[in-house]
Amino acid sequence: MRLAMLAGLLIVTIIAGCTDKIAQDDVPETEIEQPEDRSAETSQTDTSEIENIINKQMLSEEEYVEIGEMI
């Protein structure tokens, strides 16, 4: 009985190990390069955020204060 339990445990451990290995092997190349891509993405986000901050602090000549029409 004990032997059967130990054998079962061993089989489960081997299967888990294999699954993990297969999962690691399946990681696509593009995902391994993710840190580099994310950095470029972050840089783009930062630039967009900066443009947004600048835009909010600058004034446009076309802009005016709307109070409605008289007729």
Partner 1 sequence: MKKCMKKGIFLIVLLLLAINIAIAQEDAQEDAIEQVSVMGTVEGATVRLLQLQSSIDRNILKGTTVIAEITNSNRDLNISGMEELLAELTVLSNQISEMLNSDIAVTKATEEFVMIKQEATGLSQEFKKLARSMVSGEEQERLRNRNETSQELDTLKEEIRQRIMAHNALQVQNFLDKMDLENESLVGLVGSGQMNLGQAVSSIANAYKGLGQSKKTEALVKMKENKAKAQVFKETIRQNTENNADEMSIRAQERKETAKDWLEEVKQKVMTKAGTQGRLNAQGNQNSNVSNALDNSKMQRGQK
Residues at the interface with partner 1 (CB under 8 A): 43, 46-47, 49-51, 53-61, 63-71
Helix/strand number for the chain, H first, E second: 3, 0
Is 14 or 50 the residue whose CB approaches partner 1 more closely?
Answer: 50
Is 20 or 46 the residue whose CB approaches partner 1 more closely?
Answer: 46
Amino acid residing at 37: D
Amino acid residing at 32: I
As measured in angstroms, the least distance from the Cβ of 36 to partner 1 is 14
Is 24 or 60 the residue whose CB approaches partner 1 more closely?
Answer: 60
Interatomic CA distance for residues 14 and 8, integer angstroms:
10
